[in-house]
Structure formats: structure tokens, C-alpha cells
Homo-oligomer: A and B are copies of this chain.
Amino acid sequence: MSSLLIKGGTIVTHEESFKADILCKDNKIVELGEISVLPKDVETIDATGKFIMPGGIDPHTHMQLPFMGTVAKDDFASGTVAALAGGTTTIIDFVIPSPQQSLLDAYHQWRDWAKKAHSNYTFHVAITWWDDTVAEEMNILVRDHGVNSFKHFMAYKNAIMATDDILVSSFTKCLELGAIPTVHAENGELVYHLQNKLMAEGMTGPEAHPLSRPSSVEGEAANRAISIANTLGAPIYLVHVSTEEAVDAIRYAKDHGQTVFGEVLAGHLTVDESVYQNPDWATAAAHVMSPPFRPKHHQDALWKGVQGGTLQTTATDHCAFCAEQKAMGKDNFTQIPNGTAGVEERMMVLWEKGVNEGKITMNEFVALTSTNTAKIFNMYPNKGCIRVGADADLVIWNPAATKTISSKTHHSKIEHSIFEGMEIHGVPETTICNGKLAWHDNVLMVESGDGKYIDRPAYAPFYESLRKRKELNQPKAVAR
């Protein structure tokens, strides 16, 4: 295999910035610094005036998800093209077994679907039901299949909702296995009640969607998941935090010594709930996702959460449904497939609204788009890192280039972008995945199937103190 040399750029990691050339070979970064002796067959990229950063990791996507009676448009092939086009080299998608379905069966089904991926990928596995076989399959997934995170939906009553007894059982098992439980935090009973109430009142349009899932519904569930984890001594990761209440709940827990992580979507950081008032039904419906876009003050709370360290990762919940699919809910907002795209735009949006507005430094940008996710899900320092020995997943960022986001030019299969028209100053020009040029000058350079599955071992470093505490907290009987 030939080598790849990136010359003249400034390397930006989660903690420093410095000028250096990078030599990649066989998947890996093999040299860093001023590189004078070159191997044969080397391909050279000039990165003068540009930043080289770890390839983005999107910890939350749903490619070709079967959901609400249809299947998300972007499959692992098209979705990962969009990822690479935006500088993201790894996605963490979700295996979502149906209730009563074997976790392993579902896992293999998703693995099969993902074979056509262009970028790297790995999977969280959802716990949608419970019995002893589920516990046993969690064991096997951790031991044999590189899974170290399990997802729980606290909403979607009568479908995949995990009630408290399931949360308690599954979090306990996660702790036993050194895995991390994650939650979609919305109180399913309240959503169910509000959906019925709104429909009964004749509120059938997409503007009813946010009313059926107000911020208190997320705040409640966030707090509940955190408290259950706290009680059991387990870590916890909250996906798509979209509200001030949930930020406050995470902060409270962290400030009391708990191990809690929070993820925020590029969409929730920048789009607000006024979109549901759009007089065009299709436009309003295109924004239907859960949790919904929020009143503006939540955006401020999310940014503050990012700045103060309460939220550590950024994601997209990329789950693309086209207008035709959205139209399934024409007369009933609860039937509009929930989901929006974004895997391509995530890093650009965070750059424009974060770095360019002085909210975060470039180093923090790297931490938020790549490194922190790699650490939490135990892929660091192979991923999320630029050093000799790390995987050669990189993005070359041109701070001087500009671009306007549009569904006309994006690589998702759907015809709508929630970031339509946003001007970006500083764009990803070249993406290197597994040591090879994957995206360059607007051209896809890899093939379907070139993406690799990433094994993620249990017991990430944060587990050290959790284990110690468990040991110290053994109950002691009073001698009587």
C-alpha cells in the first residue's frame, strides 16, 4: 500500500496546535514532524495554511433505520458518503432489536447492512425489552463483538420504551460488564398523554409535535436516568440533550461527583422551534424529530453546557426521511417519521457557530467533534487523536474557504436540509480515512465497503474510580 504525506499544515488536536507534516501508511500515522526522508510511492497533499484535525466521530446516526413503518432513506452507503464529505470518518450507529428479538440476531442484521459503508462505523445496541437472555446476550456482545454501550429509549410507549424496571436491570448489567448505558431521555407516558390530548383537540399538524414533547418531558427523563445510574453506581450518557433542564440535570450530577456525559446535536444548537410554525406543511414536517427543536433560550443553555464542560460530544441523530415519507403523517402529526439529516454538516456548523463566534477554541472543537467521543466510547487513542501510532483518520480544514449549506449540494438522499442557507467560513476540504484519501476536492475517493467496523473494548478509563467506589461501598451488617 502506498503512503500518504500531508505537508505544511497546522495540526490541531484537542489540546494543542502546532505545525508538522504527517506521514500515513497502512491505516496508521507513522511519522509526525518535519519529514525529510520519504518512502517510495508516497502521495503528497499540500496543507499549507490549513488545519489538520482528527477525523470527526458522529456518535449518533441511524442509517437505513426501519422506523414508524418505513425505512430511513440514507443507508450505510449514502450516509457515510455524506459523513466523509463533512470530515467525519467514523459513525456510531444503533442496533435496535424489536421487543422480544434476540440482540445478537439484530446485531448481525445491522452488521450486514453496514457492509456497504464508505466510512468507519461501530454500534450501540438498544435494550428494548428484558429477560435473562437479554442479559446473557449483552455479555456476549461485550465479550465477543466489541460493543461497550447500550441504548435505552425512555419514550415511544407501546413500542421500544424501556420502563424503570428495565433501566434498573440493564444499567446494573452494564456496570457488571464495564459498559456504558445511554438514554434517549423523554418521559414516554407524558408524550403519550400529550399526543392523545392534542389530537383530541384537533391539533393534528406538525406544530403540535413540540407541544407533545415540551422541555420538561426531557428534563424529567434526563434526571431519572441520571438518578438511577447514580443509585446503582453506573456511568450514564445522555444522547441528544436539547433542553436547559437536561443540561442542568447533568451539571447537578457532575457537580456532585457523578460520572455523566452529555451529547448535543448540531441541530439543537442552531435551529429553534419556530420552524414548526412554517405555513408550508412539508417544511414544518421536515423538522419533525425527537426531541424537537426548542425555544431559543435552550440554545443558549446548550452552548453554555458545551463551554462549561457539561456536554462533551456533538452528534446529529442523522435519520433521513424524505418528503414522501414525512407525508405519512399528513393528518396526524404522531405519524410523521421522526428524523432529520446532518451527518455531513455537523462539523461545519460547530465551526461556524462555535469557533468563529468565539464560543470555543479550535482545540475544544476537536474535543467536541472527535476526541471526547473516542474517549468515552473507548476508541482513544486510536481514534480522536493525531500522534504516531494512531489511526490515520483525518480531516484537512481550510479556514479561508467558504461554503453555503444547501440540500442542493449535500450528499444525503433527502431533499431538505435543516441548515439550508447557513454560510460557513472554514470548510473541510480533504478527508482521510484509514490512511487513504476518502474525500478530496469534492470527489469521493473510496468505495462502498471500504469502511471498517470498530471494536470498542469495555472498561473505558473513567471506570477506574467507579470500580473502586463499588468496592468501598459494600454494605456491612451490624453485629447484633
Contact = CB atoms under 8 A, between A and B. Distances in A.
Nearest to A212: B475
Contacts of A15: 375, 380-381, 461
Contacts of A356: 468
A444 interface: no
A357 B281 contact: no
Contacts of A168: 189-190, 193
Nearest to A389: B33
A304 to B, nearest CB: 5
Contacts of A228: 187, 190, 220
In the complex, the count of this chain's copies comes to 4
Nearest to A201: B475
The prevalent SS among residues of A at the interface is helix
A358, A381, A471: which has the most chain B beta carbons within 10 Å? Answer: A358
Interface stretch (A125-133, A252-260, A340-348, A412-420): A252-260
Contacts of A375: 15
A231 B255 contact: no
A356 B227 CA distance: 25
Interface stretch (A48-56, A203-211, A450-458): A203-211
A335 B140 CA distance: 38
Given A189-B168, A375-B15, A279 B358 contact: no
B380 A480 contact: no
B361 A461 contact: yes
Interface in A304-333: 304-305, 307-310
Interface in A266-317: 276-281, 284, 297, 300, 303-305, 307-310
Contacts of A17: 461
Contacts of A172: 193
A28 to B, nearest CB: 14
A464 interface: yes
A236 interface: no
A339 interface: no
A167 B303 CA distance: 29
Interface in A342-374: 355-364
A279 to B, nearest CB: 6
A165 interface: yes
B357 A472 contact: yes
A169 B196 CA distance: 12
Interface in A171-206: 172, 187, 189-190, 193-194, 198, 201-205
Contacts of A167: 189
A87 interface: no
A309 B367 CA distance: 16
Interface string A101-122: 0000000000000000000000
Contacts of A284: 478
A220 B211 contact: no
A19 to B, nearest CB: 14
Contact of A308 (B194, B257, B277): B257
A266 to B, nearest CB: 18
A189 B224 CA distance: 12
Contacts of A468: 355-358
A478 B361 contact: no
A9 interface: no
B480 A281 contact: yes
Interface of A: 15-17, 164-165, 167-169, 172, 187, 189-190, 193-194, 198, 201-205, 207-208, 211, 214, 216-217, 219-220, 223-224, 227-228, 230-231, 245, 248-249, 251-252, 254-257, 276-281, 284, 297, 300, 303-305, 307-310, 355-364, 375, 380-381, 387-388, 461-462, 464-469, 471-472, 475, 477-480
The 10 closest A-B pairs by CB, nearest first: A358-B468, A220-B227, A358-B469, A164-B189, A361-B464, A257-B307, A255-B308, A254-B308, A216-B231, A223-B223
21 contacts: A16-B461, A164-B190, A165-B189, A168-B190, A187-B231, A203-B477, A207-B475, A216-B227, A220-B228, A254-B308, A254-B309, A255-B304, A256-B308, A257-B359, A277-B478, A297-B297, A297-B300, A357-B472, A361-B465, A387-B387, A388-B388
